[in-house]
Amino acid sequence: MLLLDASRRVNSGVRCLLVCESNGMLMNENQKTEFEWFKGVQDKLADAFLKNGHTPSESQELGFLMAQGVRDVPALLRLLGESDRHSNDEIDEIMNAVHDVLSNRSSLIEVARMLGIEA
């Protein structure tokens, strides 16, 4: 099982993603794609923060936290855009996606704090 929110601190203080596997099983293709997307978003954000004057370690931390904070937004937008009317099951799916998005708000609040933005 791939856990995208798993992280660890390394000596430099930079958060790194850990790919967690359960029972020695390899990641399936969807998990690889999701991990690659998440890592790409994290790297682009870190680069933007670095070019905006943050230190390399701060940039990596900010990139990780921002990517963490928005990673479930595309799933919510996809569900909302699928049709104009939703069945009860689809409404449950949408509400679960809303919960997932809001569950990651602490990452965005931390980014705002690090950037000196009141959240």
Give bridge partners of residue 15 from the DSSP assignment: 9
Looking at residue 4, what is its pLDDT? 40
* In the chain, where the domains are located: 31-115
Mean pLDDT over 98-117 rounds to: 95
Dmax (CA) of the chain: 51
Question: Looking at residue 88, what is its pLDDT?
Answer: 87
| Digit-coded pLDDT (tens) for 25-72 | 455 677 778 788 889 999 999 999 999 999 999 999 999 999 999 999
Count Cβ neighbours within 10 Å for each residue of 55-80 and write b for 16 or more, e otherwise.
eeebbbbbbbbbbbbbbbeeebeebe
27 vs 2, residue with greater confidence:
27
Question: Which pLDDT score is estimated for 101?
Answer: 96
At 71-106, the pLDDT tens digits run: 999 999 999 998 778 788 889 999 999 999 999 999
3-state SS, one letter per residue, for 1-16: CCCCCCEEECCCCCEE
User: What pLDDT is stored for residue 26 in this prediction?
Assistant: 55
- pTM, entire model: 0.69
**Residue 38 pLDDT:** 86
Q: Does the pLDDT value for residue 13 go beyond 70?
A: no
Runs of H (alpha helix) within 1-119: 29-51, 56-70, 73-81, 88-103, 105-115
